């Protein structure tokens, strides 16, 4: 009987249903959700805090073999506009084997402390160690390659005058001084898009994730995380779970160079996506819409559905191919083929050097292929804790 039932399946009807479901979900993820936020945000007025409130701060910098950057990072951090008597800098060396430790120890500023880990356990473990040793009321997490605006700490700090604020994220920007990275425009476009969404989420109520290289948390409510946890996602979720708000402060700006190749970007995105997916699954309780409302809505719309994009793209490609005998569907199918061909060609030929937008298909494909690979690795039980620095 089974073969007979299969024979009656109307393939075009099924293909159309899959096509429109995939297309609708993709439009919602990339357009519908931001538009919905933009429509709701004007009904929520939140006053910006004025700089002036200056709690004691501990800047925690996890570092693994960062001899090429850590000296400059220390000098830049110590030169930030923040009261010297309220600032300390903790470099947590994740069992570095180059000259990182020696460079930090050579710094004579009493505000700088070096924390060595006995074995290499990764960035999140290093952050846990940093918070455990920190003295400041607020802990700021940074990377060794990140450059802050001079007033970034002032703007992060002023939000903590509100006792309901438990964490504050800054704004993340990519800069490519040599303008040679194939992922430059994609990285800039992606983060401008993400910053817009964060700004709207924060205005309505709270964020559910932060920018990893510039975010802060009240030390008194910090939750030590698993070594494989994605700190800039899981820690804010823990803050939200405890009843505090996570704020986006777009006046606190951090800069970093993009990765120098699509391969480096791919490796980084695989790790980031795997961390994020595992982190949300570990806090699956927050997905209960009837209990957490706005928080759950954010996670589903901005995280879970975003992570399904690779599968939606595959469904759209297959369904449009099956329907390509019809003109409208054929246009969509060939547009996808052309888009992916540009992405593949950009891996072989530096098309972005002739016209920057030609690098966008490569970045989009890299981002979503990395997410797909992350699912495969997680399904196989692979978890990430340690990391390799890709920006050199």
CA distances from 273 to 8, 139, 280 (A): 40, 25, 11
- Per the rule left: phi > 0, alpha: psi between -120 and 50, beta: everything else, 31 is alpha
Supply the pLDDT for residue 386. Answer: 60
Supply the pLDDT for residue 181. Answer: 63
Can you list the domains of the chain with their CATH numbers?
1-392 (3.90.550.10)
Supply the pLDDT for residue 184. Answer: 67
How many Å apart are CA 80 and CA 165, to the nearest integer?
A: 23
Supply the pLDDT for residue 26. Answer: 97
Written as six digits, the tokens of 14 are: 């099924």
Supply the pLDDT for residue 204. Answer: 92
Q: What is the pTM of this model?
A: 0.87
Supply the pLDDT for residue 96. Answer: 92
Nearest to 196 by CA among 4, 5, 11, 36: 36
The residues near 246 (Cβ < 8 Å, ≥ 6 apart) are: 165, 166, 167, 168, 169, 202, 206, 207, 208, 210, 236, 239, 240
Q: Name the H helices within the chain.
A: 2-7, 11-27, 33-40, 70-78, 100-105, 123-133, 152-158, 184-204, 231-241, 262-282, 289-292, 294-298, 305-307, 309-322, 327-348, 360-379
pLDDT tens-digit profile, the chain (392 residues): 445 444 456 678 899 999 999 999 999 999 999 999 999 999 888 888 989 999 999 999 999 999 999 999 999 999 999 999 999 999 999 999 889 999 999 999 999 999 999 889 889 999 999 999 999 999 999 999 999 999 999 999 999 999 999 999 999 887 766 656 666 667 788 888 999 999 999 999 899 889 889 999 999 999 999 888 889 999 999 999 999 999 999 999 999 877 767 788 888 888 888 888 888 888 899 999 999 999 999 999 999 999 999 999 999 999 999 999 988 899 999 999 999 988 888 777 765 565 566 768 888 999 999 999 999 988 887 766 565 555 44
Supply the pLDDT for residue 44. Answer: 87
How many Å apart are CA 113 and CA 153, to the nearest integer?
A: 19
List the 215-218 sheet strands across, edge first. Answer: 112-116, 87-93, 57-63, 138-141, 215-218, 165-174, 245-256, 147-148
Strand partners, 115: 92
């Amino acid at each position: 009987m089974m073969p007979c039932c299969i024979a009656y399946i109307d393939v075009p009807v099924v293909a159309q249903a899959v096509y429109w479901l995939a297309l609708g979900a993709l439009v919602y993820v990339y357009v519908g959700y931001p538009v919905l936020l933009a429509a709701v945000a004007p009904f929520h007025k939140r006053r910006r805090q004025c700089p002036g409130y200056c709690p004691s701060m501990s800047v925690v910098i996890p570092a693994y073999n960062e001899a090429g950057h850590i000296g400059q990072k220390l000098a830049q951090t110590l030169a930030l506009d923040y009261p010297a008597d309220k600032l300390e800098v903790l470099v947590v060396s994740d069992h570095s084997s180059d000259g990182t430790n020696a460079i930090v120890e050579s710094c004579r500023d009493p505000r700088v402390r070096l924390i060595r880990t006995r074995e290499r356990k990764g960035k999140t473990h290093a952050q846990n160690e940093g918070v455990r040793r920190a003295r400041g009321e607020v802990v700021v997490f940074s990377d060794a390659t990140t450059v802050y605006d001079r007033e970034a700490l002032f703007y992060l700090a002023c939000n903590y005058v509100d006792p309901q604020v438990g964490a504050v994220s800054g704004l993340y920007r990519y800069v490519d001084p040599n303008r040679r990275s194939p992922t430059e425009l994609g990285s800039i476009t992606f983060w401008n898009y993400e910053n817009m969404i964060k700004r709207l989420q924060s205005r309505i109520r709270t964020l559910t994730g932060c920018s990893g290289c510039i975010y802060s948390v009240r030390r008194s409510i910090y939750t030590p995380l698993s070594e494989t946890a994605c700190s800039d996602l899981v820690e804010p979720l823990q803050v939200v779970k405890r009843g505090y708000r996570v704020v986006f402060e777009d006046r606190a700006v951090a800069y970093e160079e993009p990765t120098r190749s699509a391969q480096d970007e791919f490796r980084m995105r695989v790790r980031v996506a795997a961390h994020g997916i595992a982190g949300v699954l570990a806090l699956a309780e927050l997905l209960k819409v009837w209990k957490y409302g706005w928080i759950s809505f954010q996670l589903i719309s901005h995280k879970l559905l975003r992570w399904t994009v690779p599968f939606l793209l595959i469904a759209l490609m297959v369904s449009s191919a099956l329907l390509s005998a019809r003109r409208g569907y054929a246009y969509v199918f060939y547009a996808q083929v052309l888009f992916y061909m540009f992405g593949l060609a950009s891996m072989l030929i530096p098309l972005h050097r002739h016209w920057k937008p030609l690098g966008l298909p490569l970045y989009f494909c890299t981002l979503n292929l990395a997410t797909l690979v992350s699912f495969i690795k997680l399904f196989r039980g692979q978890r990430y804790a340690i990391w390799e620095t890709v920006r050199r």
